Amino acid sequence: MYIGVDDTDSVKGMCTTYLATEIIKEFSELDLIGNPRLVRLNPNVPWKTRGNGAVSLRFGKGIGKPKIIGQIDGKDIKCYETGIGAKPTTEHFKRACQLVDKLAYFDDEKTNPGLILTHEKPSQKLYWQAVRYVVEKKPHLKTANPKFHKGWKNGRGLIGSISATAWRPRDSTYEIIAYREEKKWGKPRKIDTASVQKMDKSIKTTFNNYDYEEKHMAIMPSSPCPILFGIRGDIENDLHKVKDIVQSEKAARWIIFLTNQGSDDHIIPGSISSLEPFTSVKVWGTVTSSPKIIEGGHLIFQISNGKKTVDCTIYEPAKKFRWIGEKLLPGDVISVYGGVREEPFTINVEKLFVEKLASVSEKVANPMCNSCKKRMKSIGKNQGYRCAVCGKKASEEKAEFSVIKRKLKTGWYEPPVGSRRHLAKPLKRN
Ligand SMILES: [Zn+2]
């Protein structure tokens, strides 16, 4: 039995991953098969609540030796690598619906929960569609055809609950999420900064933990949700260690999720000539304009593939990443990864690869008159030079030029940890 759920949270509270822990508690008579999954979907959909993350869990009869993946109210939570899935019943469905009724944040108009229970895993194409494109609920539901489903309000969360359940990892990472005691929800979080830095430096397989320049603790959410912190990494066993290093207020529960975070699954290899709004792409082009900072502190430059030109924007929250973009010059060849925005039409740069730097020269001196050994004088803008002594003329290009030393190197660049997309593959994972 797979249970998929999505869109139960709001910027004002709750978190769908917390609901996952409640589902684990509710179905404790069954074995959990595999880690609970936290699946991020297309970050460009206009109506997403927060990080556009859905969850999926599998229950049944486990086979082999279980592993510990968390703790809820002092009790160890275990899961089995494999097992035989249970058949979902009306009773299971009723119990799952009650949890959504009790915990989802219905007051927010953007919160439209969806829930499915199914014995069969939906086709993986439903995941790829939802992580890369804007999809409609009806055809998604028709293709998946789950045994039980319910949508609350406009039921848009059904798309996520189906897509998360449909995910077969091509690339995957883990996230350990620790939750706060209920009485502390909405109050300031207590996490010791030095201990987070220590964890970041000692557990090398984790990523997106701490921004040393902005002094920003990226593991800690800023919303009033039940999450205390979330730490991402490539090795599940290493995430068991982090909770002993990070010093914080007491966590009431913690769970290690399997996720598609940091996978670049949302990126479609594309071309500047065929950009579709609300998708994320990887495109190649030559810089055609000098980068400019516009109102709001955003940086804009243009790239072209020889046929078409498109604006690329590095938004203000990307902070120092903008100063990389600012060093680009016309002629540089780059690959841009980012979300395509409809209005204004632009690529919201998530990371970039500088393939080739243009050789740019600047004039350092007027031409020399070979007869008089004197520097010539400019006749006027773009009109060449003339020797003031003998009257000999020289064209513009006879001046002395020197190649500008570029302040940029070829290679990869990405925004600081605090302003990365959940799905964006951090360079640390390359
Ligand atoms: Zn002369």
pLDDT tens across 17-28, in order? 999 999 999 999
CA 396 to centroid of ligand 1, rounded, Å: 16
CA 376 to centroid of ligand 1, rounded, Å: 7
Residue 232: predicted pLDDT: 98
Q: Whole-model pTM?
A: 0.93
What's the pLDDT tens digit per position in 223-264?
899 999 999 999 999 999 999 999 999 999 999 999 999 999
Q: At 155, is the secondary structure helix, strand, or coil?
A: coil
CA 29 to centroid of ligand 1, rounded, Å: 98
Residue 30: predicted pLDDT: 98
- Residue 52 in this model has a pLDDT that exceeds 90: no
Contact between 114 and 161 (Cβ < 8 Å): yes
Average pLDDT, the chain: 95
Residue 110: predicted pLDDT: 87
Q: Count of alpha carbons within 13 Å of 307, Cβ hemisphere only?
A: 5
- Residue 49 in this model has a pLDDT that exceeds 80: no
Greater model confidence, 48 or 145: 145
What's the DSSP call for residue 86?
P
Contact between 300 and 341 (Cβ < 8 Å): no
Rounded mean pLDDT, 84-89: 98
CA dist 377 → 36, 177, 368, 382, 384 (Å) = 75, 70, 9, 12, 9
Confidence of residue 9 (pLDDT cuts 50, 70, 90): confident
CA 386 to centroid of ligand 1, rounded, Å: 8
What's the DSSP call for residue 15?
-
CA 383 to centroid of ligand 1, rounded, Å: 17
| Joined tokens for residue 183 | 């009485």
CA 361 to centroid of ligand 1, rounded, Å: 26
CA 322 to centroid of ligand 1, rounded, Å: 48
Confidence of residue 107 (pLDDT cuts 50, 70, 90): confident
Residue 46: predicted pLDDT: 82
Residue 321: predicted pLDDT: 94
Within 10 Å of residue 345's Cβ, how many Cβ atoms?
Answer: 11
CA 377 to centroid of ligand 1, rounded, Å: 10
- Comparing CA positions, the residue from 235, 173, 171 lying closest to residue 205 is 235
- Residue 47 in this model has a pLDDT that exceeds 90: no
| Residues 22, 227: Cα–Cα separation, whole Å | 14
Residue 50: predicted pLDDT: 62
CA 381 to centroid of ligand 1, rounded, Å: 20
- Return the CATH number of the domain spanning residue range 2-259: 3.30.70.2200
| Residues 127, 237: Cα–Cα separation, whole Å | 27
Instruction: Tell me the Ramachandran region of residue 228: left when phi exceeds 0, alpha when psi lies from -120 to 50, beta otherwise.
Output: alpha
CA 366 to centroid of ligand 1, rounded, Å: 13
| Residues 34, 269: Cα–Cα separation, whole Å | 31
| Residues 216, 226: Cα–Cα separation, whole Å | 20
CA 400 to centroid of ligand 1, rounded, Å: 17
Residue 51: predicted pLDDT: 66
Rounded mean pLDDT, 159-186: 97
- Comparing CA positions, the residue from 126, 150, 152 lying closest to residue 139 is 126
Element (H, E) at 6: strand 2-6
Strand ranges (E), 184-250:
206-207, 210-211, 216-217, 227-233
The CATH number of 267-359+407-429, from 2.130.10.10, 2.40.50.1010, 3.30.43.10, 1.25.40.10, is 2.40.50.1010
CA 395 to centroid of ligand 1, rounded, Å: 14
Element (H, E) at 239: helix 236-245
Tell me whether residue 200 is exposed, middle or buried, using C-beta atoms within 10 angstroms of its C-beta: 0 to 12, 13 to 18, 19 or more.
Answer: buried
Confidence of residue 48 (pLDDT cuts 50, 70, 90): low
| Joined tokens for residue 225 | 């949700």
CA dist 266 → 30, 130, 141, 341 (Å) = 33, 9, 21, 15
| Joined tokens for residue 283 | 């495109």
What's the DSSP call for residue 13?
B
What's the pLDDT tens digit per position in 119-131?
999 999 999 999 9
| Residues 70, 251: Cα–Cα separation, whole Å | 11
CA 359 to centroid of ligand 1, rounded, Å: 32
| Residues 182, 140: Cα–Cα separation, whole Å | 35
Confidence of residue 314 (pLDDT cuts 50, 70, 90): very high
Q: What is the DSSP string of 284-311?
A: EEEE-S--EE-TTS-EEEEEE-SS-EEE
CA 368 to centroid of ligand 1, rounded, Å: 8
CA 401 to centroid of ligand 1, rounded, Å: 20
The rounded radius of gyration (Å) of the Cα atoms in the chain is 27
Contact between 423 and 261 (Cβ < 8 Å): yes
CA 177 to centroid of ligand 1, rounded, Å: 78
Q: At 385, is the secondary structure helix, strand, or coil?
A: strand
CA 41 to centroid of ligand 1, rounded, Å: 71
User: Peptide bond before 113: cis, by omega within 30 degrees of 0?
Assistant: no
CA 196 to centroid of ligand 1, rounded, Å: 70
Greater model confidence, 125 or 48: 125
| Residues 390, 393: Cα–Cα separation, whole Å | 9
CA 387 to centroid of ligand 1, rounded, Å: 5
CA 168 to centroid of ligand 1, rounded, Å: 77
CA 394 to centroid of ligand 1, rounded, Å: 10
CA 21 to centroid of ligand 1, rounded, Å: 86
Q: Which amino acid is at 231?
A: I
The residues placing their C-beta within 5 Å of ligand 1, an ion, are 369, 371-372, 387, 389-390, 392
CA 375 to centroid of ligand 1, rounded, Å: 8
CA 369 to centroid of ligand 1, rounded, Å: 5
Element (H, E) at 281: strand 280-287
Rounded mean pLDDT, 102-115: 91
Residue 54: predicted pLDDT: 96
Rounded mean pLDDT, 192-214: 96
What's the pLDDT tens digit per position in 205-217?
999 999 998 899 9
What's the DSSP call for residue 248?
B
Dihedrals phi, psi of 277, to nearest 5 degrees: -60, 150
CA 216 to centroid of ligand 1, rounded, Å: 63
Q: Where in the sequence of the chain do the CATH 2.40.50.1010 domains occur?
A: 267-359+407-429
Confidence of residue 11 (pLDDT cuts 50, 70, 90): confident
CA 404 to centroid of ligand 1, rounded, Å: 29
Residue 12: predicted pLDDT: 82
Q: Where in the sequence of the chain do the CATH 3.30.70.2200 domains occur?
A: 2-259
- Residue 13 in this model has a pLDDT that exceeds 90: no
CA 81 to centroid of ligand 1, rounded, Å: 86
| Residues 229, 221: Cα–Cα separation, whole Å | 7
